[in-house]
Amino acid sequence: MKRPMRNDSNETEKQLNPPVAMIYTTYLRQYPEGDIMGNRIVWFTGLSGAGKTTIAMAAADRFGCEVLDGDTIRDFFANRDFSREGRERHLLGIAKMAKMMSKHTDVLCSFITPYEDVREKILEILPDDAVMVHVSTSLEVCEDRDVKGLYARARTGEIANFTGISDPFDEPKCAHITLDSSGAEGASVDDMVDQLAHLFEKPKAVLLPGRWQPLHVGHEWLIQRELDQGKRVVVGIRDTPVSESDPFSTDVRKRMIEHRYADEDVEAWVMPDIEAISYGRKVGYEVREADDIPPEIFAVSATGVRGGNKANVSERVMEFMIAEGIWDGE
């Protein structure tokens, strides 16, 4: 999935209404500089009483996710407009918030989401790997489960625009997964959570720590070697202060790497300016040094690149440097 060259969270917050911006700012305080690899957004759609939030909460407990539903956001982002337009505006705002939160954790969204065109718009907002799940239960079963009496009040006209009674619930044709939550044998909450387990599998990764001042073809050779072996790569960016020998800020280096590998299975993480890697015993990983680097690659030096040898940076890195105004393009 392609990423923009700049990631200005302040500008993003300005585009949101105040309650959503407040939630996002609070969340970032809890999860600073996260960028956890492969975070997933799962959006549950279904009638009131279908079991969306029950399943979402069970999945959150098992896989360690955050849940957004009417209860969790009501105090911050309550919707008083139940017209079609009001519901759409509300749900699209939640989708934007979920997308931002997914930079730091998996997010499960549980909302009726009755209209198919709105579901499609939500999927356009969310990352490409977001999953729409239809929690499928008949209206009769939902009414039988209605401990709050909402369906009964809707049938008497006390509640207007109630999904399934006086407002439609479109068939979720864009759903990637359908869960039968009618209570049939083999369809317990745990069974349905089992059906979602593959969404939260976290493949192991190879960590390549360094300064990346700047990213050059020698670095890229190391990264490509791991990619060629089918590995997932995390580029660890040491958070070194800007100096004569480290002229590029952490933010610039992070965006540089993200731009270069926008279409590949590579993530850029900011890490402390480590002085050593110390471990007591092997517990599922190894520390290894590349011993097969070709001489012409081994000779590449970031110092030389900073000194003006631009031949040792790739076209994508050159593109980034020029766009940032760091180099003049000559």
Per-domain boundaries in the chain: 9-200, 205-323
Q: Kindly tell me if the per-residue pLDDT of 156 is higher than 60.
A: yes
Nearest in space to 160 (alpha carbons), one of 274, 84, 244, 76: 84
The angle subtended at Cα 266 by Cα 330 and Cα 284, nearest 5°, is 140
Q: Give the model's pLDDT for residue 121.
A: 97
Measured CA to CA, the distance from residue 314 to residue 256 in angstroms comes to: 11
Q: Kindly tell me if the per-residue pLDDT of 180 is higher than 80.
A: yes
Q: Kindly tell me if the per-residue pLDDT of 210 is higher than 70.
A: yes
Q: Give the model's pLDDT for residue 149.
A: 92
Instruction: Yes or no: say if 133 and 177 are a contact pair by the CB < 8 Å rule.
Output: yes
Measured CA to CA, the distance from residue 223 to residue 218 in angstroms comes to: 9
pTM of the model: 0.62
Q: Kindly tell me if the per-residue pLDDT of 25 is higher than 70.
A: no
Residues 254-279 have pLDDT tens digits of 999 999 999 898 999 999 998 888 87
9-200 and 205-323: identical CATH topology: yes
Report whether CATH 3.40.50.620 matches the domain 205-323: yes
150/204: higher pLDDT: 150
Q: Which of 19-23, 77-81, 218-222, 318-322 has the lowest mean pLDDT?
A: 19-23
The stretch 51-68 carries a mean pLDDT of 96
What sections of the chain are H helices per DSSP? 9-14, 18-30, 52-63, 70-77, 84-101, 116-125, 139-144, 150-155, 189-196, 217-228, 250-260, 295-298, 302-306, 315-323
The stretch 4-12 carries a mean pLDDT of 39
Q: Kindly tell me if the per-residue pLDDT of 19 is higher than 60.
A: no
CATH number of 9-200: 3.40.50.300
Q: Kindly tell me if the per-residue pLDDT of 154 is higher than 60.
A: yes
Q: Give the model's pLDDT for residue 330.
A: 60
